[in-house]
Structure 1
Amino acid sequence: MNDPAADTPPALAELLAVLDLEEVGRADMSVTASLDDGASSTTSPLAFAEEMTLFRGQSQKMPHGRVFGGQVLAQGVVACGRTVTPGEGEAPRPIHSLHAYFMRPGDDTQPITFAVERMRDGRSFSTRRAHAIQNGKPILSMSCSFQEPADGLDHQDEMPDVPGPEGLQSLSDVFGGIDHPGAKHVADRAIEQRHVEGQLFLAPADERVAQQSVWTRAVGRLPDDPLLHSAVLAYASDYALLEPVLRKHGRQWVGGGLNVASLDHAMWFHRPARADDWLLYAQQSPSAQGGRGLSIGRMFTADGTLVASTAQEGMLRVRD
């Protein structure tokens, strides 16, 4: 990636630097399995992946010292995408889906190593598996699939009929004048958010419903790199996705009496989109139970084109 332009907002320049992973080497890999033909058992190598490509990335500093989950998702997209090499004269295959599990909290003072396995390169699809590793242990495991552009059946959900972003209060409007490290962090994010129904940081919602809509975009222009835009969409998709659960139960982020952590995350990229244009992130929660809550999201361009869908389950434990 090119260096961020001089007029790029500092928060976005920091995000671009974090996503500019360094390739640090390759490692051989072999997988063995027991094969039983009913008469005898032998051990034979199964070449799921001949080697792993290793990348290293840094982290954005967080007030609580833990790595933001959306950052690791975005870095995983970049790491996997860089191993999908196009044929001569061909464009790189764009990502069409990711599935990830958050396994441990990450330390934002330590680098993260991404080990990417080339699972398969077929005529139409390329599949990759990546592990984000700190201190010798995985903090996230994810699979990504990339597809050659193709024609086919085409339909989509309609975008919800909600007010546009103009005139809505942004998080920087809410927290920009508050002299507190947590408030400054929210106000200075690389992703702008404008809640249609109002934000949930300081107080619960007036109406207890399990759905909300948030306008979102990067705070400045991004380079014309489709993989980078997909990575930033993945980054942004982790913001606010569990809020429909909080909204339904009259909770807020600050003083809401909950311990919250993402458990897993899935995302499907339907159509090309720029992460620096306004996108409506429509979210709803079909269920919360057992200390967990599930939320579903859909991202629409301002003209109503559905560009991505998301799903995330999070831990939401009520504190005594």
Structure 2
Amino acid sequence: MKTPPRASDDPAETAVREVIDALTLEPTGPDRYRVRPREFGRRRLFGGQVFAQSLMAAQHSAPERPPHSVHACFLLPGTPDIPVDFEVERVRDGGAFSCRHVRALQGGREILTMFVSCQRPEAGYEHQCPMPDVPAPESLRSSGELLREWTARTGEIPHAMLETSMTLRMGLELRPLDPEGVFGTLVRPPQNAHWFRICRKVPVDPALHRGLLAFASDLGFLGTALRPHGKPWFAPDIQPSTIDHSLWLHRSVRVDDWLLYVMDSPTAQGARGFVRGSIYDRAGRLVASTAQDGLLRDTRLRHSNATPRPTPVTGASL
């Protein structure tokens, strides 16, 4: 009889545990925390990681008031090689709302600044835009399967990328609605969507699930602005980087169940792309909204006086 694999032998289990560990902050003083970041297949610190860690730091200072609005500016690139320190400033505690300012520092330099608004739970009017009618995640292939198939067919991505695929290293499973537009150079409307979830069940801790949602909210996001230009985010002549990222948390969420991430990019200009997103759960509830302005520098134009001509795009529903 075959012995079931131990948790440590399961790559997905190990990846999920490492992500949770990355969101577990060590107190170093009043409203002060430190964490050793993880490397997820890139030598630069993944922006979603430090964004989520900063949110976790803010939540520690307002445990009875869930965050509803999170805004961060990325100031400097980070490295996964040294610890990150977090300083929380309690800007205000009112009757219903609390405001927190979080600074993330690495080697004494501020790499991210974040403002978080928290609110005690209240009842009130409710409405939302409906979730788009899309295929169920069970009918779609994962990004890992698509990556293996595309690499085998084209040979254009080194085999090492299969082992360091960010989503696999993060314990996340993504199922794109447009599999043909994930890795290739096909021109698409500036819209994108994928189902995602954490690969394994995680503890029932609302603060942790909000942190994991913040972590995943930066994946596959900025690349939406490249779709009208037929460029994948990993193209060698593209320098992508998050400038600022915002997350609005509308309803309770579990990240170990399927969530639909619907994205669109209304404009790109000035070597930047702007992207908006809506995140729905399987029941069709809008649980979160996102927005991001990011660097999409075409390195071929960096030392040129040429001005790229705008690419006209037409909208298309998912």
Report TM bin, short chain: 0.7 to 0.9
How far residue 120 of structure 1 moved from its aligned partner, in angstroms, is: 1.2
Aligned partners of 1:65 and 1:244: how far apart in 2?
A: 23
1:65 partner letter: R
How far residue 191 of structure 1 moved from its aligned partner, in angstroms, is: 1.6
More helix by share: 2
**1:185 and 2:168 matched:** no
Determine which of 13, 18, 22 is the counterpart of 2:17. Answer: 13
Instruction: Identify unmatched segments of 5+ residues in structure 2.
Output: 1-6, 152-157, 301-318
Greater gyration radius: 1
**1:102 and 2:80 matched:** no
Determine which of 268, 273, 283 is the counterpart of 1:293. Answer: 273
User: Aligned in 2, Cα 1:317/1:135: closer, same or farther, shift over 3 Å?
Assistant: same
Determine which of 54, 63, 84 is the counterpart of 2:32. Answer: 54
Give the match for residue 195 of structure 1.
Answer: 176
How far residue 146 of structure 1 moved from its aligned partner, in angstroms, is: 1.1
Give the match for residue 244 of structure 1.
Answer: 224
The answer as to whether partners of 2:146 and 2:179 remain within 8 angstroms in 1 is no
Give the match for residue 80 of structure 1.
Answer: 58
**1:158 and 2:130 matched:** yes
| Of 214-223 and 195-204, the range deviating more from structure 2 | 195-204
**1:126 and 2:105 matched:** no
The answer as to whether partners of 2:19 and 2:170 remain within 8 angstroms in 1 is no
User: Aligned in 2, Cα 1:56/1:199: closer, same or farther, shift over 3 Å?
Assistant: farther
**1:23 and 2:6 matched:** no
**1:304 and 2:284 matched:** yes
Give the match for residue 139 of structure 1.
Answer: 111
Aligned partners of 2:105 and 2:192: how far apart in 1?
A: 34
Aligned partners of 2:145 and 2:61: how far apart in 1?
A: 40
Give the match for residue 31 of structure 1.
Answer: none
The answer as to whether partners of 1:200 and 1:253 remain within 8 angstroms in 2 is no
How far residue 253 of structure 1 moved from its aligned partner, in angstroms, is: 2.6
2:35 partner letter: G
The answer as to whether partners of 1:63 and 1:181 remain within 8 angstroms in 2 is no
Runs of 4 or more consecutive aligned structure 1 residues displaced over 4 Å after TM superposition: 5-8, 176-179
- What is the percentage of aligned positions where both structures have the same residue? 40
The answer as to whether partners of 2:279 and 2:286 remain within 8 angstroms in 1 is yes
The answer as to whether partners of 1:172 and 1:188 remain within 8 angstroms in 2 is no
Aligned to 2:227, the other structure's residue is in SS state helix
1:227 partner letter: A
Instruction: Using structure 2 for the length normalisation, give the TM-score.
Output: 0.85
Aligned partners of 1:111 and 1:19: how far apart in 2?
A: 13
Aligned partners of 2:79 and 2:258: how far apart in 1?
A: 31
Aligned partners of 2:148 and 2:21: how far apart in 1?
A: 24
User: Aligned in 2, Cα 1:132/1:199: closer, same or farther, shift over 3 Å?
Assistant: farther
State the number of aligned residues: 283
